[in-house]
């Protein structure tokens, strides 16, 4: 199965699916140079999850805040905190894409729909926790 076919399969499987907490998902493919599956969690639309698929992994990313939103006087402390949180946070890690801070998780392309749903649930929960817990570093 090609990455494009896998992404289409995920779009069908995730759209309308329910997470363990009862929240539903909505998914749509955004066509582009690299197609992306935009997935939103009910009641958490401000933190959509962007899913890409390549030959070896399914990558799930949620954008948190921009560099411009970070208190410059606390930036180094924020970066240290993000690095420190990467290991203890289940199934998610922090990174930066351009000027955007993100939280992400990766799975094998052989992952079952149930495993992908678990990743999306945890990633969504972790994004909310990160935004709340790291608010002191933002303007």
Angle at 82 between CA 64 and CA 38, to 5 degrees: 30
DSSP conformation class of 68:
G
- The residue to which tokens 């992994």 are assigned: 57
Residue-wise pLDDT tens digits, 21-30? 999 999 999 9
Q: How far apart are CA 124 and CA 14, in angstroms?
A: 14
Q: What is the pLDDT of residue 51?
A: 98
Sheet holding 49-53: strands in order across? Answer: 25-30, 36-41, 49-53, 57-66, 100-108, 93-97
- Domains in the chain (CATH in brackets) are 3-137 (3.30.1460.10)
Residue-wise pLDDT tens digits, 94-125? 999 999 999 999 999 999 999 999 999 999 99
| DSSP-based three-state secondary structure for 137 | helix
Q: What is the pTM of this model?
A: 0.95
* Mean pLDDT score across all residues of the chain: 96
Q: How far apart are CA 75 and CA 79, in angstroms?
A: 6
Residue 1 pLDDT exceeds 90: no
Q: What is the pLDDT of residue 90?
A: 86
CA-based R_g, the chain, Å: 15
């Amino acid at each position: 199965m090609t990455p494009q076919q896998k992404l289409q399969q995920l779009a069908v499987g995730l759209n309308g699916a329910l997470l363990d907490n009862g929240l539903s998902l909505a998914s749509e493919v955004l066509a582009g140079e690299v197609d992306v599956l935009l997935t939103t969690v009910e009641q958490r639309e401000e933190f959509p999850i962007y899913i890409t698929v390549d030959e070896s992994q399914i990558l799930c990313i949620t954008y948190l805040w921009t560099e411009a939103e970070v208190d410059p006087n606390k930036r180094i402390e924020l970066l240290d905190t993000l690095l420190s949180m990467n290991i203890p946070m289940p199934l998610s890690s922090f990174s930066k894409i351009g000027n955007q801070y993100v939280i992400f998780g990766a799975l094998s392309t052989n992952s079952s729909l149930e495993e992908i749903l678990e990743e999306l649930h945890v990633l969504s929960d972790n994004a909310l926790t990160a935004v709340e817990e790291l608010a002191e570093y933002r303007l």
